[in-house]
Structure 1
Amino acid sequence: MTDTRVRGIDHIGVTVPDLETATLFLVRALGAEVLYDILRRQDGPRGGLDVEQRLGVPAGTKELAVRMLALPGDGPGIELYEFEGPRREPPARPSDFGWQHVAVYTDDLDASVRDCVAAGAILLAGAQPLPGPEAGERNRFAYLRTPWGSTLKLVTYPDPQPWERTASRRRVRPATVGAGAWPTDPDRPGPTAR
């Protein structure tokens, strides 16, 4: 096997129509925490050839604000972008090409669905059992739409899954909130420095 030196997903970039509204949704719905602003609204907008080439966006597109958030536990960050520009398309649906949803692990699916709906998400259908190789008595999922139209999946799989009996590798399940630690790195402070 080739050593790619890839450790996992660092963050997920999400373009939203309004940075503050999206931040409030993620804080209320998922318990996200604002880490820092990469581009504060009062310091923007940022545009021109550099932005157009770096991000592959149409000419005339400007970054208005960019913010990094963290979800509870050890999962990837969420980097929110707000743009102004000549062309903006609606979010991809699962049937479209490209990254189609973000899945968030939860210990209490029903409570997380309620939190997301209370924060402004739309539940697409009630919670469903995970099928086939992911099945287990308490293993379930639900799909929702965020207020800006992106697809969000909530998933829980506390019970063993059939695929685990024969696989040589396991999926990474986020650690219990508060129980995780930074990856081994002598130059990085421990979890209390978050």
Structure 2
Amino acid sequence: MNELLEEVRGCDICENYITPRPVVFANEKSKILIIGQAPGTRVHASGIPWDDASGKQLRKWLDVTNDQFYNVDNFGIIPMGFCYPGKGKTGDLPPRKECAPQWHKLLLNKMPNVELVLLIGMYAQKYYLKDKAEKTLTNTVSNYQKYLPNYFVLPHPSPRNRFWLTKNPWFEKNILPELKNQINKLL
């Protein structure tokens, strides 16, 4: 696993498009796998996954401490795009498409203890759920039970999603307690 992680961290398949600095956090003991979008500018600079406002919100959703979250025996973190994809008109660009096909299967094959995969955001959900994903992220998340026990689907915890959270109060009322329960059982 360590050799594979070093290979991923040295990846430069996108160097013609972005400045590579792959961020990955996993080991063979990880029980919960987080598959999100791609690092933002702060994570790109620090190299620490979810080291930003989105990460703070995610840890609150999961009801875990920083120590629990960054204990690689608890959580593995594999984004859809391992490097910051750059800035777009309304936020960050989508994750680079080369990363997941190149690395995910190899990493997952080295993680036999994963009991739950958190699919955060539309890119992870479309990639892993394929035609089982609903037409919208909202519908996919509202039907989260359909993907259990393997996957728990979530919206992105970005502060930019405040409008979505306000418009969909059922998420915090109904889904977050179930998420916290699932995480608590595994930890």
Which TM bucket (shorter chain)? under 0.3
Give the number of the structure whose residues are more often helix, by fraction.
2
